[in-house]
Structure 1
Amino acid sequence: MRFLRSMLPQSARRVFVHALRVSLFAAIILLIHQRFAGSSLPSTTPSPIRLDDVVRLLPDAASLGAANGDGSRSVDDPQQNSIGYVLQTSPQSDHIVGFSGPTNVLVAFNPDDVISGIEILSSGDTREHLDEVRQSEAFLSSFDGMHRDEVANSPHVDAVSGATLTSLAISESIIHRLGGAKSSLRFSQPLTLAEMQTFFPTADRTELDADQSRWDVFSGSRLIGRVIRSSPATDNIVGYQGPSDTLIGLDLDGHVVGFTVGQSYDNEPYVGYLREDDYFRKTFNGLSLDELATADLAAMQVEGVSGATMTSHAVAEGMVVAAQERVRAAQQKTPDAKSFSLTANDVGTLLVIAAAVVIGFTSLRANKRVRIAFQLVLVCYLGLTTGNLLSQAMVVGWAKHGVPWRNAAGLAMLAIAALACPIFTKRNLYCSHLCPHGAVQQLVKGRIGYQLKWSRSVSKVLHIIPALLLAWCLVVGIAGLSFSLVDIEPFDAYLFPIAGWATVAIAVLGIVASLFVPMAYCRFGCPTGRLLEYLRFNAKSDRWTVRDWIATGYLILAIGLWFA
């Protein structure tokens, strides 16, 4: 840094050092993303089959014949005698996604159409799940000795513990490539009578129809309704972390009477939020299957469940796709799936952001009445109504899986404003003018006469807490621990009907503490605020401080965990 001071003027040095600071943050986000997101395989032209790969499955292989009409290639021994043939699952099965991508599998057959072995050629799935599958000899050999027709007509259901989605997707890919009907291995359990009674309480028996996709529900001898499930049509629609099987109840006229989430690979407690939200589960009530199949979710202003936006939007989209599959519509994609649209809450959030910019960057911020009125808007609208608050759980989740522009546009715009303002304008607009929890603390600040004071040394110790929480978030994000990061911050408490006890306790304690110590949680407990403050461009940005060395340590920790 002394070299920079001697070579660059202060203004240029400030920009350079600040760019390094932002780069540290970006590098950590990229590491988390690369840790979980595999690059998808191309779905147009399969990779050439190499003889070396074939030899591992058919040791006597000496040469490969030309590709046949179905993409298979014959295999000959050194004497030019046929010893079988091989084919790969790509590109025909590239639409079948495991945890994060499709997998291309080489399948070897003997001359009698019996499988001799399988080999994973390449994959867009996450490395850790793929390693679990590769290390499972039981799974890789489980197809050995099965006739081609047997595989296609009798779906293979074994899964690898710790890599369930990946291994089941591989099985589905092989079945699909061999001409078998696409059945769901991920949601293979039949529906129970108790699940039917969710929609029809008097139900006492069910019958599965001929095409295995609809259940007729009876009370005694009387038909009272029907139930369809979204799987397997929606097995590749992923919410926060995985697909969900949605059950849709229909009356005798074919109109929706409700839906519920069955088995799911998505994160708890998000799936639980959906099951407990009666309003969301009545979203499509009264629609016929034809109307549901052509539903435009943006035009209907379908709102997600606060705290589980990605999961709930995936379920809603899955219902449209399931309806399309049921009525055999020509188009199998969710309408407007790639278009960017704004819901009413997204527009409301954008207006709040615009108001915060106007207030925060003008003299209005000194107007007490304006400030208090806007703080109440933040608490009531952003907090209690939309639940749009930034958190480390959100940061880590988006780093892993990408920003859900289509499912949570309002929250995405809030995140952009929160990051862009401190980086480019020297103002931490989110903490001062956009955070509902910060607004509550500002409203209670100084409301009682007694104020707690402590020494500077105690303050320094307390200031370490957000830094330690950030380190823990990094460990959870990179290592993929099952710990729920919503439990270390108070923000889910604004969704109090579904909030956990830990986040409620932190919220209450933070507000109570702010009665005695101004902005107590913001100063001594908030990792998100500490991150934004670190990214803030200021007059001292030309200096490489202790905070920067700590951030460098975070990056080193992230790299170590990534390789570990």
Structure 2
Amino acid sequence: MTEPQTRRPAWRPFVHAGRVLILVAIALIVHLAAKLHAPADNGPAPQVEIALAQTLFPAADKVDDAGSVLDDSGKTLGRVLQTSPAGDKAIGFSGPTNVLVGFSPEEKIVGLAILSSRDTREHVREIERHETFLHSLDGLSRDEVLARTDFDAVSGATLTSLAMIEAVQRRLGGSQKSLKFPEPPQLEVVRKLFAEAELLEPDASYPALLHVQSKDGEPLGKLLRTSPAADNLVGYQGPTEMLVALDADDKVIGMALSRSYDNEPYVDYVRTDDYFLELLNDESIFGLAETDVGELQIEGVSGATMTSQAAATGVYYAADGLVQAYHAANQANERDYLPELRERDYKTIAVVIVGVLLAFSPWRGNPWARIPFQVLVVVYLGFANGDFVSQALLVGWAQNGVPWKSAIGLVLLVAAALSLPIFTRTNVYCSHLCPHGVVQQWTKRRLKWQWKPSKRVLPWLKAIPSVLLAWVVLVACARWSFSLVDIEPFDAYVWHIAGWGTIAVAVVGLIASLFTPMAYCRFGCPTGALLDYVRYNGKSEFWTRRDWVAVGLLALGAVALLF
């Protein structure tokens, strides 16, 4: 008579899913901690230290609140602008970089400088050493920078340097500044169009478009400045800036003359001619943009024909600029959802695909297939690219976002590393795609004498990765300044940017692996421990001590976030 089989509890299959949810919850806490400690987008921009400004303008003595750079006599040398927050979507290796861009009085770039960065310390430091890269945009205008796509990256800091250029392009997408009408419109003029106007907020994508608000912050409408689009339209003796009031549907509801270089009384004739100022009422800004300016027949103001015709023509130029900015913003949003594939990405994707196929094929144990692929992993992913799944990378992405648009190859590598153990029971990354793991496989049992940890020592060694993971969570959630690259050996493969901490971890780990097989992977790697934790296996349906450790890390992150 057979014994009755014990029914498996219905909750067991959900235990493994719970592990994944714990990791997701930790990532969310890390992300929330970064958001809570990040400066508000509408807060004051970081102060530009004069020493940094002097790297772009050697004679600089002061940088005023508007970004103008002045020498000790008060002469304007140029201006500077920061790419944050407009460029913060450009994620490098592990975070965005706030770039300081210098412009000459002729609106030509004179250089770049790093104001602050949330990217990995070693990558940022490597870029700071490359004067050639920091001056690679010198002499270019705003439009020339936006039109270029062939930028040279810094070797060893490719993703960080490309993200810096992307941040500059995002910031310059609507940052053209008028040299003739640099000051904002006067409220007394704006109130001719919006009687309750108190606040003027420049549009993020087109600063010549101002969002008009009341004292209580209630939106009243939009105001389009014809400057800088019409700065080169000369009436009788100079250009004129008009203000065009728009409703919520971008239809004209009135105009007002803001400032002019033209002569009185011509300017005053235009300023007080109600018929002229209401000439374009109810016209759509999109319709004005499609108008052929060469065929315009503008009825000018009597006694100020040239001034009024130039002022009116400027409205059409400004409308065209605004509509182009709308289209550019829409295209940018579309591009944000489409990855930019570079040669580096194609190669990395190919390596990942081959590695996954090899891991699940009968050839995985064949040295003729395995060894050439391992060489490829070490040389290309390791020494050439420095593409590793590390705690610095994962924390950076949790804090700042995933750079799937600019680094899709690396994103696919991380996706394969995290997802395949969950669903296939195979830790493909550690066994096939980690360069440091491959090197340890090559050093395994090369020496006759081997050391085997005793049963008393073994639990302490196995606890090291968990302790390191706890440190990672503390650093990430408390926003400490400690660089996480120092607890792992991976940056040592990009030796010319590596710090001594990561080099020491790499050397000690490889020496240890000569005497104890895969010593670093087993007793030192927090990333490997994380991937092994989510790997599905025969014990995945049981709650174990590792799960309590994971819950402890979650609680640790929550406490660090609160305090």
By the TM > 0.5 criterion, same fold? yes
Question: Is residue 245–residue 261 contact of structure 1 (8 Å, CA) maintained in 2?
Answer: yes
Q: Give the direction of change, closer, same or farther, for the CA distance of 1:435–1:307 in structure 2 (3 Å limit).
A: farther
> Offset at 1:563?
3.5
> Offset at 1:293?
2.1
Report the AA paired with residue 112 of structure 2.
T
Question: Is residue 464–residue 524 contact of structure 2 (8 Å, CA) maintained in 1?
Answer: yes
Q: Give the direction of change, closer, same or farther, for the CA distance of 1:372–1:339 in structure 2 (3 Å limit).
A: same
Question: Is residue 273–residue 308 contact of structure 1 (8 Å, CA) maintained in 2?
Answer: no
| 2:163 matched residue in structure 1 | 313
Q: Give the direction of change, closer, same or farther, for the CA distance of 1:213–1:441 in structure 2 (3 Å limit).
A: same
Greater relative CO, 1 or 2 (CA 8 Å, sep 6+): 2
| Counterparts of 2:493 and 2:23, CA distance in 1 | 28
Question: Is residue 478–residue 558 contact of structure 1 (8 Å, CA) maintained in 2?
Answer: yes
Spell out the pairing of 1:119-518 with structure 2 (5 A cutoff). 126=36, 129=37, 165-166=39-40, 169-170=42-43, 172=44, 185-189=45-49, 194-196=54-56, 205=59, 229-231=80-82, 234-238=84-88, 244-247=98-101, 259-264=111-116, 266=118, 269=121, 270-277=123-130, 280-281=133-134, 284=137, 289-296=142-149, 300=150, 303=153, 306=156, 309=159, 312-319=162-169, 321-322=171-172, 325-326=175-176, 331=325, 335=332, 336-518=335-517
Question: Is residue 387–residue 492 contact of structure 1 (8 Å, CA) maintained in 2?
Answer: yes
> Offset at 1:561?
3.0
Return 206-215 or 497-506, whichever deviates more: 206-215
Question: Is residue 382–residue 388 contact of structure 1 (8 Å, CA) maintained in 2?
Answer: yes
Report the AA paired with residue 229 of structure 1.
V
Question: Is residue 264–residue 271 contact of structure 1 (8 Å, CA) maintained in 2?
Answer: no
| CA deviation profile, 1:457-490 (whole Å, cap 9, x unmatched) | 2222211111111111111122222211111111
Q: Give the direction of change, closer, same or farther, for the CA distance of 1:338–1:421 in structure 2 (3 Å limit).
A: closer
Question: Is residue 487–residue 500 contact of structure 1 (8 Å, CA) maintained in 2?
Answer: yes
Q: Give the direction of change, closer, same or farther, for the CA distance of 1:227–1:431 in structure 2 (3 Å limit).
A: farther
Report the AA paired with residue 17 of structure 2.
A
| Counterparts of 2:462 and 2:522, CA distance in 1 | 7
| Counterparts of 2:28 and 2:114, CA distance in 1 | 33
> Offset at 1:188?
4.2
Question: Is residue 261–residue 271 contact of structure 1 (8 Å, CA) maintained in 2?
Answer: no
Secondary structure, aligned partner of 1:457: coil
| Counterparts of 2:14 and 2:142, CA distance in 1 | 58
Report the AA paired with residue 449 of structure 1.
K
Question: Is residue 440–residue 510 contact of structure 2 (8 Å, CA) maintained in 1?
Answer: yes
Question: Is residue 81–residue 101 contact of structure 2 (8 Å, CA) maintained in 1?
Answer: yes
Question: Is residue 241–residue 267 contact of structure 1 (8 Å, CA) maintained in 2?
Answer: yes
Q: Give the direction of change, closer, same or farther, for the CA distance of 1:286–1:14 in structure 2 (3 Å limit).
A: farther
Return 208-217 or 410-419, whichever deviates more: 208-217
Which runs of 5 or more residues in structure 2 are unaligned?
A: 72-76, 178-227, 229-320
> Offset at 1:228?
5.8
Question: Is residue 430–residue 437 contact of structure 2 (8 Å, CA) maintained in 1?
Answer: yes
Question: Is residue 479–residue 562 contact of structure 1 (8 Å, CA) maintained in 2?
Answer: yes
Q: Give the direction of change, closer, same or farther, for the CA distance of 1:26–1:477 in structure 2 (3 Å limit).
A: same
| Counterparts of 1:462 and 1:527, CA distance in 2 | 12
Question: Is residue 364–residue 370 contact of structure 1 (8 Å, CA) maintained in 2?
Answer: yes
Report the identity percentage.
37
Secondary structure, aligned partner of 2:99: strand
> Offset at 1:191?
6.9
Report the AA paired with residue 355 of structure 1.
V
**What number of residue pairs does the alignment pair up?**
403
| CA deviation profile, 1:301-331 (whole Å, cap 9, x unmatched) | 7657645735750444314633763486753
Question: Is residue 274–residue 308 contact of structure 1 (8 Å, CA) maintained in 2?
Answer: no
| Counterparts of 2:548 and 2:163, CA distance in 1 | 40
Question: Is residue 446–residue 518 contact of structure 1 (8 Å, CA) maintained in 2?
Answer: yes
Report the AA paired with residue 245 of structure 1.
V
| Counterparts of 1:427 and 1:548, CA distance in 2 | 20
Report the AA paired with residue 369 of structure 1.
W
Which runs of 5 or more residues in structure 1 are unaligned?
A: 38-125, 130-162, 173-184, 198-202, 218-225
> Offset at 1:446?
2.6
Secondary structure, aligned partner of 1:261: strand
Question: Is residue 101–residue 109 contact of structure 2 (8 Å, CA) maintained in 1?
Answer: no
| 2:19 matched residue in structure 1 | 21
Report the AA paired with residue 56 of structure 2.
M
| Counterparts of 1:401 and 1:289, CA distance in 2 | 27
| Counterparts of 1:235 and 1:304, CA distance in 2 | 23
| 1:220 matched residue in structure 2 | none
Among candidates 26, 29, 32, match of residue 31 of structure 1: 29
Question: Is residue 301–residue 343 contact of structure 1 (8 Å, CA) maintained in 2?
Answer: no
> Offset at 1:210?
13
Report the AA paired with residue 309 of structure 1.
L
> Offset at 1:551?
1.6
Q: Give the direction of change, closer, same or farther, for the CA distance of 1:436–1:286 in structure 2 (3 Å limit).
A: farther
| Counterparts of 1:514 and 1:409, CA distance in 2 | 33
Tell me, yes or no, if structure 1 residue 546 matches structure 2 residue 524.
Answer: no
Question: Is residue 97–residue 116 contact of structure 2 (8 Å, CA) maintained in 1?
Answer: yes
| CA deviation profile, 1:205-235 (whole Å, cap 9, x unmatched) | 4799999778799xxxxxxxx976343x654
Report the AA paired with residue 100 of structure 2.
T
Secondary structure, aligned partner of 1:325: coil
Q: Give the direction of change, closer, same or farther, for the CA distance of 1:286–1:450 in structure 2 (3 Å limit).
A: farther
| CA deviation profile, 1:420-444 (whole Å, cap 9, x unmatched) | 1100000000000011111111122
Tell me, yes or no, if structure 1 residue 537 matches structure 2 residue 388.
Answer: no
| Counterparts of 2:141 and 2:546, CA distance in 1 | 58
Question: Is residue 207–residue 215 contact of structure 1 (8 Å, CA) maintained in 2?
Answer: yes
| 1:8 matched residue in structure 2 | 8
Report the AA paired with residue 31 of structure 2.
H
Q: Give the direction of change, closer, same or farther, for the CA distance of 1:305–1:228 in structure 2 (3 Å limit).
A: farther
Report the AA paired with residue 318 of structure 1.
V
| CA deviation profile, 1:157-188 (whole Å, cap 9, x unmatched) | xxxxxx8x44x943x5xxxxxxxxxxxx4244
Q: Give the direction of change, closer, same or farther, for the CA distance of 1:427–1:227 in structure 2 (3 Å limit).
A: farther
Question: Is residue 510–residue 520 contact of structure 2 (8 Å, CA) maintained in 1?
Answer: yes
Secondary structure, aligned partner of 2:112: strand
Q: Give the direction of change, closer, same or farther, for the CA distance of 1:345–1:286 in structure 2 (3 Å limit).
A: farther
> Offset at 1:402?
2.2
Report the AA paired with residue 484 of structure 1.
S
Question: Is residue 293–residue 321 contact of structure 1 (8 Å, CA) maintained in 2?
Answer: no
- TM-score w.r.t. structure 2 length? 0.62
Answer with 1 or 2: which has the greater Rg. Answer: 2
Q: Give the direction of change, closer, same or farther, for the CA distance of 1:360–1:292 in structure 2 (3 Å limit).
A: same
